[in-house]
Amino acid sequence: MIILASLGSLSAASMIWTALAACVGGLLVFCGLWIEKSTEKEAFADIRDFRRQKRRASVGWWLLMLGIAVEIVTACALAVKEEMQMKQIRIAEARNDPRNQPISDMSASAILIVMGTDFNDLTNWDSRRVARLSLWNNESTAVPVDALNADNFTRNDFSIEAGEPNAGNSREYGIRFRSFNFRRFMGFEETPARAIDDIRFVRMELNFLPHGSQIGAGGVDLVVNNIHKLFQVFPQIDTNPPAGTRGFPYVVIATNIPESKTK
């Protein structure tokens, strides 16, 4: 039964030789049992007849053992070959797993709710980019990937109906970040997509938001090779340096949302 169940995973040529070996083993077992059975006699004609039957019984026993040995060897060979094939399949699956592929595309979408609308967006930054997003495993270790940049943002002022009880209105910002993956073209070691599993927080540097603005809520959806990871922005205020200081962006931190909370 083990041999028959294993034949389905073999190639045509391997199936032929395996079936042949199994048939030979089965035939030897059959012949051995038949010979042993035929020697079972309660009376013998003479001493020569007795010795002849003993020799036949011995031959039958050895044929039986040989047949069993052939079947055992065939079954072991099948088990080893099937395990090797399964190992190759697992290696191929791991190689083709999107999480094991080098990062080829990375983007992020961020939504920020800023309390109040009685302030102006800053326009006096020196950098060409509107915002920058970096990925961090912890407070001292950045993920070995390029930072993501944004060259524009959207803004929507609206009245708030729930949440902050002391605010009658708020402003929503939408930011789209992209990475051009320059590290890959510059010859740096490629980072696999599974590196996003270790990301604990993202750091956004916003050149358009005045310092002292009150962040009410928000979130970041990071997409790496079509794999999503969510981060939550909790209420926070960046007051250092003072509003309007050139070259010092407003820093917003978004922390990782455990997968159990996203299902």
What 3-state class would DSSP assign to 261?
A: helix
Which of the two residues, 253 and 127, has the higher pLDDT score?
A: 253
Report pLDDT digits (tens) over 198-252. Answer: 899 999 999 888 888 899 999 999 999 888 999 999 999 987 776 556 668 889 9
**Amino acid occupying residue 7:** L
Residue 2 pLDDT: 42
Residue 104 pLDDT: 81
Is the pLDDT at 195 greater than 70? The verdict is yes
Is the pLDDT at 3 greater than 50? The verdict is no
Report pLDDT digits (tens) over 118-161. Answer: 777 877 665 667 899 999 998 888 888 888 999 889 998 766 55
Structure tokens at 64: 């039986």
The domains of the chain are located at 2-96, 101-262
**Amino acid occupying residue 132:** R
What burial letters (b/e) apply to 55-89, b meaning 16+ CB within 10 Å? eebeebeebbebbeebbeebbebbeeeeeeeeeee
Of 6, 12, 56, 62, nearest to 35 by C-alpha is: 56
Q: The tokens 């495993």 sit on which residue?
A: 137
Of 113, 220, 121, nearest to 159 by C-alpha is: 113
Q: In this structure, what DSSP letter does residue 196 have?
A: G
Report pLDDT digits (tens) over 163-192. Answer: 544 445 888 999 999 987 656 655 556 788
Is the pLDDT at 93 greater than 60? The verdict is yes
Residue 245 pLDDT: 61
Which of the two residues, 70 and 193, has the higher pLDDT score?
A: 193
Under 8 Å between Cβ of 167 and 160: yes
Residue 183 pLDDT: 60
What 3-state class would DSSP assign to 104?
A: coil
Residue 31 pLDDT: 63
Residue 225 pLDDT: 87
Residue 13 pLDDT: 57
- Positive or negative: CA dihedral 145, 143, 218, 225: positive
Report pLDDT digits (tens) over 24-72. Answer: 656 656 565 565 555 565 555 666 766 776 676 677 667 667 767 777 7
Under 8 Å between Cβ of 252 and 112: yes
Rg of the chain in Å (alpha carbons): 37
Provide the pairing of β-strand 214-224 with 148-150. Answer: unpaired
**Amino acid occupying residue 225:** N
Of 247, 249, 261, 140, nearest to 201 by C-alpha is: 140
CA distance 103 to 98: 9
